[in-house]
Amino acid sequence: MKYALIKPLIKLKKGLNLLDYRIPSQLSKNLKTGQLVEIPFRNSSKLGIVFDIKNDTKLDNKNIKNVIKISDENPIISYKQIDFYNFFCNYNFSSLNFLNNIIPLPMKNKIREKEEKFFIYKTPFKLKNINSSILENQKFIFKHNFFDEKISLIKNIIDKNSKNGKLTFIISPTKIHIERILSHLLNFYNSNDYRIITGNTHLSKLKHNEIWNSIKENKMKFIIGTKMSIFYAMENTGTIIIDESENENLNQIDINPRFEFLPNILELAKINNLQIIFTSYSPNAYLYNLAKEKQLKLLETKEKIETEISVLDMSTKYFENYLHFFTEEEVKNNKKVLFLLNKKGYSKNLKCHDCNFVFKCVDCNSVLSIKDNKLHCYNCEKSFDAPLTCPKCSSVKFDNYGIGTQQFTKIIKKNFEDTYLPADKEKIITIDKDNYQNLKLIKSSDFIIATRIIIDYIKEAEFDLIVIPFSHQFLNNNFDSNEDFFKLISKLVSLKPRKIIVQCLSEQKIHEYIRNNNYASMIEDELITRKLLKYPPFENILKITIKDTDRTLLDKKTIELYDKIKSNMGNSVDLLEIIDKNTKIRSFYIKNILIKYKNDSDISNIKEVLEDVDIIEKNYFKL
């Protein structure tokens, strides 16, 4: 008797990835791994994918049901895909439920469903010369300064693979990145040469099936998509290119399944023996460390950067006066200026002058902002009367701190609008989450205050001057804060402004690295610090999120889970503190448990404990 290990294509509990089914004698000769089959499930039949065929089972034979029939004689997924899916679940503490949307299923009709639209227009582009020897490397980081260098590399790789009858997979952080790359590649390829994948829910079922089959039949030259593309068929693929590999959207956790992108894409390339290329303006510490250990190569372009980078210490100067000093000439000459902040809105908070007590929401503990002369909680959307005295020390002296786009716009207008802005010049505009619609005004406006939401919408040489007035807004307590800020500056440099000005309250080592555009020293310094503090990439950190609408129940659940982990963990695993931010998000109170362990540690003893936990983040998180 033979048995099939099958993933039913329906949502199962996290611990129920694969189920045993008996293979009836009439199917035993034709049933293969990777096939789509029909199986009984509860009181109905469902479709499932065969992950393995085995000769025995640990279950009681009486409780095992028979496979009903083979739905498709041709395997839909390969052995290599199964190997990757198994690795993915094990590494990321994930279930196989993502396959419910990935596997192409038979369609009852061919009614075209609504799908995500792209507005891509051909953009004139001149190729750069790429050394052909670069293309022969199996695994490498392509550190470049400008966008056209990256596009030239991608074009060369696509042509090389196409000559060999192979497909190129390009994985980009967001839809905006996809549109920008395609607008340049349209100078060389037509619509039949590529397909677009943006998540597993944005495509119509018909389009999804067509893309999957086109990959298997090798009907095009390249695929371009977001991070969910890694679950698609990799038959006939020669190269995977990770576009802007340092971009945080590749690791954004709001998407399911949650996973740490880089280790998974490296394993995918290894299993399928694919060439893998990471393009980057500023490679992150994880990739740089792999290059340092000779696991891949770091190749850098030599094109000179013309942008002047200036770091100004404003600790002894009033903000308004200093702002006036360095922008007067730019405004007089009608130059286009961008001020980049990391806070939206008015963003003024209140604290006690004598004891530094910060006023927070009584319901969710979020820091309150000043809005319409009241203290306002943007989390609960509640307002409170401003206090007369400090509840901690009874002082009557209060300080405002923090500055956002709205408040900054007010300061800019006060200093420049009447004096230096010509009458025919567009008024100052603000671009942030609350003013997203103003993105369409970038081209026509010459004075813009924005959050980093604007960056992917800026064209090269569009701004003469980019100013970061408060660099401390971008530097926080997260372990990757310095690296993240350097990435931001590298991205700004790639946009070819004439000048970048970074203001700081007090200069730190990271500002010196930025002034000299010294990536190597910055990342080496980061690795030394992280090794000392046992941070990634030298050790792994799991952040386990527990949530509940009832604060008392949350406390109980968290303590129970903490005690279970503590009793099951080995000596090589460090159980850290419970983090309680005392905040409420979408009606849920949140707590976190942190676990730290070495890369080669065996953590199988705590995996069973975590089977019912829905939110587990590995290494990519913000404390």
Percentage of the chain beyond pLDDT 90 is 45
Q: At what angle do helices 79-92 and 261-272 cross, to 10 degrees?
A: 160
Higher confidence at residue 49 or residue 200?
49
Whether the pLDDT of residue 623 is over 50: the answer is: no
Residue with more model confidence, 26 or 373: 26
Query: Please, which pLDDT band fits residue 357 given cuts at 50, 70 and 90?
Result: confident
Q: According to the model, what pLDDT value does residue 148 have?
A: 95
Q: How far apart are the C-alpha atoms of 197 and 175, rounded to whole Å?
A: 9
Residue position matching structure tokens 């004439």: 498
Paired with 595 in beta bridges are: 542, 575
Residue 528 near residue 479, CB atoms below 8 Å: no
* Half-sphere CA count of 124, side-chain side, radius 13 A: 1
Q: Which CATH class is domain 134-300?
A: alpha beta
Fold of the CATH domain 2-102: GIY-YIG endonuclease (3.40.1440)
User: Which CATH fold topology does 539-618 show?
Assistant: Alpha-Beta Plaits (3.30.70)
pLDDT score for 318: 46
Q: Which strand (E) or helix (H) includes residue 198? A: none
**Alpha carbon 546 to chain centroid distance?**
22
**CATH among 3.30.70.920, 3.40.50.300, 3.60.21.10, 3.40.50.150 for 308-345+404-531:** 3.40.50.300
pLDDT at residue 83 above 90? Answer: yes
Domain positions in the chain are 2-102, 134-300, 308-345+404-531, 539-618
Q: What is the pLDDT averaged over residues 260-276?
A: 95
* Per-residue pLDDT, 327: 57
pLDDT for residue 321 is more than 60: no
Say what the pLDDT of residue 6 is.
95
C-alpha 465/C-alpha 500 separation (Å) is 6
CA-based radius of gyration for the chain:
27
Q: What's the pLDDT at 254? A: 59
Longest dimension (CA), the chain: 88
Residue 450 has pLDDT above 60, yes or no: yes
pLDDT(326) > 60: no
**Between these two residues, 463 and 59, which has the higher pLDDT value?**
463
Quote the CA–CA distance of 538 and 479 in Å, as a whole number: 13
252: DSSP letter: -
Q: In whole angstroms, give the CA distance from residue 177 to residue 406.
A: 28
Residue 585 has pLDDT above 80, yes or no: no
Q: Tell me what pLDDT residue 112 has.
A: 55
pLDDT confidence of residue 338: 92
- What would the pLDDT profile of 102-122 be if each residue is shown by its tens digit? 888 887 665 555 556 667 889
* Window from 207-211, 257-261, 611-615 with minimum mean pLDDT: 611-615
- Helix, strand, coil tally for the chain in percent (to 5): 30, 25, 45
Average pLDDT over residues 167-178: 94
195-209 average pLDDT score? 75
Look at 418 and 533; give whichever has higher pLDDT: 533
pLDDT at 169: 97
Pairing of strands 615-618, 539-548: antiparallel
Rounded Cα distance between 125 and 495, Å, is: 15
pLDDT > 80? residue 256: no
Q: Which long-range CB contacts under 8 A does 246-252 form with residues at least 24 apart?
A: 246/280, 246/281, 246/282, 246/283, 246/284, 246/487, 247/173, 247/174, 247/177, 248/173, 248/484, 248/620, 249/173, 249/174, 250/171, 250/173, 251/620
User: Of 16, 17, 21, whose CA–CA distance to 45 is shortest?
Assistant: 21
Same fold, 134-300 and 308-345+404-531: yes
Quick: pLDDT tens for 413-442. Answer: 776 666 555 555 557 889 988 888 999 999
**Are 400 and 417 a contacting pair, CB within 8 Å?**
no
CA distances to 85, 96, 561, 595, 614 from 606, in Å: 21, 19, 11, 10, 15
